[in-house]
A and B are shown apart, each in its own frame.
Chain A
């Protein structure tokens, strides 16, 4: 099927120009400059940049602070993705049935998508509040363990993971629901006739069929968690207690804009670039293979 085309010579360039301009000026140029800055030491109050080779990178890779932030990032991104993708799938499976008031449920389930992670973080900050929060209050009936995020890093991490995963839930549920609804009922019914119970039908038929959606969501949630979660950390924990929730984007901002160590901050940007390229390659690799069929 040949697409009818217009013959103008200059018009397509004119149409693409604004977007290309934004792309070059605000994306390519700064990204290239990240590479440049990463091999220099820039005096914070002006003056000449000093070429330092890979010093900024070796300085990062030989300190435990940076390793900690890498580990925190993966724990955070893994936690957010696991919680919101698995939770999203379970809820979507529950909502994929013929019952009364379904549209109402579906609207309510989409809501968290409309809540900014930082705002969600502040709501959960109160729920986790060591003195006034309902969560520590309920825990106090069960155990004497001090449920205080200000003292225990893992609770702070659980706080920001829960808040972030909550905001991703709506999006994931919407995608899983669409995926579940695209499965022909005849396929599931056939398995039912063959004697497969609901759990077996789900794991043997439904799960493989929606694996492309699952994979897409895993990558999207990872990217969101890695690169879009500065707000929740800044609004809630400021990376603390200690460095417990200091994920890579937070450390990068802190070193660059508070510590004014532009070289180190740029080197961290370059390392993050490797992460995002890795995730993108993964996405395209699996998208080609289609995962399931």
Chain B
């Protein structure tokens, strides 16, 4: 029992080590980064490092871009997939229903790299290059979300929608007043997954943005690494720490719903 506990503690330490290490390096003075054996205690230069990294690549702007894009895409995906899933579960069969459902699922098989050049050309034709539309709108479709909400709606007792109809509530009223409040956990779990998905997106922002103020934070950090002959790793790690905070906050806030949605999915 004790051995198992020790093993778990050791494994956890190994897993969180890279993060702790990044934090530690971000607190060091420049000359202390390259000392051997490596310094294990944090220094006091974090604020200064962060300020300098902040000024060097406009970190504030980049963080706002990343967070804004991730929130808008997550919400966009949620809205569109809730609407579609609602249409697929709560209406009398309509012509083309199966075809439309399969079409949405098929997006799952078309990740960005398989359509990258034409999608970029499309942005060019739309005049969207280097715009926030280009960074968000093409991501609004979600096979995962549509499937998730359809599965969830199917588990809700039909008596609910029957009661709503008898009471004279229309479909949209039923969706907003009854279905959405019941879906809070799924909404939160999907928000987390899609927020992280978009926060991690690197290829698309790289090719579709052309000016520094439209960049996302990861590319800014990469620029910190690449620009200097002598990379200042204490500054880079300060940037890394800043870039780790927003997704971790979202993760911590919503992890309960995320973990809950996994266990629900496995009980079927």
Interface residues of A (CB under 8 A from B): 1-9, 11-13, 15-16, 18-20, 22-31, 33-34, 37, 90-91, 94-95, 97, 99, 105-120, 122-127, 129, 131-132, 134, 137, 166, 169, 174-175, 177-179, 181-182, 213, 223, 227-228, 230-231, 234-235, 248-249, 252-253, 256-257, 262, 265-266, 269-270, 272-273, 276-277, 280
Complex alpha-carbon distance, A177 and B266, angstroms: 11
The distance in angstroms between the C-alpha atoms of A30 and B125, with both chains bound, is 13
Answer yes or no: B225 CB below 8 A from chain A CBs. Answer: yes
Q: Kindly report which residue of chain B lies nearest to residue A100, judged by CB atoms.
A: B5
Q: Quick one: closest A residue to B97, CB to CB?
A: A12
A106-B259, A178-B259 are known; give 19 further A-B pairs, CB within 8 A. A3-B90, A6-B91, A9-B94, A12-B94, A23-B104, A33-B121, A97-B5, A114-B247, A115-B19, A115-B244, A116-B243, A117-B200, A119-B244, A123-B22, A178-B266, A181-B263, A235-B218, A235-B225, A269-B113
> In the assembly, what is the distance between CA of A26 and CA of B137, in Å?
9
The reply to whether B218 and A118 form a contact with Cβ atoms under 8 Å apart is: yes
Contact (A125, B222) CB under 8 Å given A16-B84, A19-B83, A111-B19? no
Contact status B222-A182, CB under 8 Å: no
**In residues 187-236 of chain B, which contact A (Cβ within 8 Å)?**
196, 199-203, 206-207, 218, 221-222, 225, 233, 236
**Cα-based distance from A119 to B247 in the complex (angstroms):** 12
Decide: B266 and A15 in contact? CB cutoff 8 A: no
B71 within 8 A of A: no
Let me know if B146 is at the binding interface, CB within 8 A: yes
Q: Does B183 interact with chain A (Cβ within 8 Å)?
A: no
A280 to B105, CA, bound (A): 11
In the A-B complex, the 10 residue pairs with the closest CB atoms: A231-B202, A33-B118, A30-B118, A30-B115, A15-B87, A114-B251, A12-B87, A227-B111, A26-B138, A4-B162
Binding site for A on B (CB under 8 A): 1, 4-5, 7-9, 11-12, 15-16, 18-19, 21-22, 25, 33-34, 36-38, 79-81, 83-84, 86-92, 94, 97, 100, 103-104, 106-122, 137-138, 140-142, 146, 154, 158-159, 161-162, 165, 170-172, 174, 196, 199-203, 206-207, 218, 221-222, 225, 233, 236-237, 240, 243-244, 247-248, 250-252, 255, 258-259, 262-263, 265-267
Closest B residue to A1 by CB, please name it.
B158
> By the criterion CB–CB under 8 Å, are A114 and B250 in contact?
yes
Which residue of A5, A94, A178 is within 8 Å of B263 (Cβ)?
A178
CA distance A25 to B107 in the complex (A): 11
Residues of B within 8 A of A269 (CB): 113-117
What is the distance, in angstroms, from A275's C-beta to the closest C-beta of chain B? Answer: 9
A residues in contact with B5, CB < 8 Å: 97, 99
Tell me, in angstroms, the Cα distance from A262 to B119 when the chains sit together: 12
Check if B115 sits within 8 Å of A231, measured CB to CB.
no
Please state if B25 and A126 are interface contacts (CB–CB under 8 Å).
yes
Q: Are B115 and A31 within 8 A (Cβ)?
A: yes
Secondary structure type dominating chain A contacts: helix
Distance of A169 Cα from B108 Cα, bound (Å): 22
The answer on a CB contact under 8 Å between A30 and B19 is: no
B83, A123: Cβ atoms under 8 Å? no
CB of B91 within 8 A of CB of A8, answer yes
Q: In the complex, how many angstroms separate the beta carbon of A174 from the nearest chain B beta carbon?
A: 6
Q: Tell me the nearest residue of chain A to B115, going by C-beta.
A: A30
Q: How far is the CB of A127 from chain B (nearest CB, A)?
A: 7
What are the residues of chain A within 8 A of B33 when measuring CB–CB?
Answer: 132
The verdict on A256 contacting B116 (CB below 8 Å), with A16-B87, A137-B38, A277-B109 known, is yes
A116 touches B104 (CB 8 A): no
Known A12-B94, A22-B138, A111-B251; contact A122-B87, beta-carbon cutoff 8 A: no
Measured CB to CB, the closest approach of chain A to B18, in angstroms, equals 5
Cβ contacts under 8 Å, A12 to chain B:
87-88, 91, 94, 97
* A90–B266 CA distance with the chains assembled, in angstroms: 20
A132 surroundings in chain B (CB, below 8 A): 33-34, 233
Q: Is the CB of A137 within 8 A of B218?
A: no
Q: Which of A6, A110, A276 contacts B92 (CB 8 A)?
A: A6
Q: Which residues of B contact A28 (CB under 8 A)?
A: 103, 106, 110
Q: CA–CA, A109 to B119, complex, Å?
A: 37
Given contacts A4-B162, A23-B104, A230-B113, contact A114 B196 (CB under 8 A): yes
> Which residue of chain A lies nearest to B122 when distances are taken between CB atoms in the complex?
A30
The answer to whether A126 and B237 have CB atoms under 8 Å apart is yes
Instruction: Provide the bound-state CA to CA distance between A132 and B1, in Å.
Output: 39
Question: Cβ of B165 and Cβ of A4 under 8 Å apart?
Answer: yes
B91 nearest in chain A by CB position: A12
Q: Is the CB of A18 within 8 A of B140?
A: yes
The answer for the CA separation of A228 and B19 in the assembled complex, in Å, is 21
Are A123 and B262 in touch, CB under 8 angstroms?
Answer: no
Task: Report chain B residues within 8 Å CB of A169.
Answer: 15
Q: B109 near A94 (CB under 8 angstroms)? A: no
- Whether the pair A122, B107 counts as a contact (CB closer than 8 A) is no
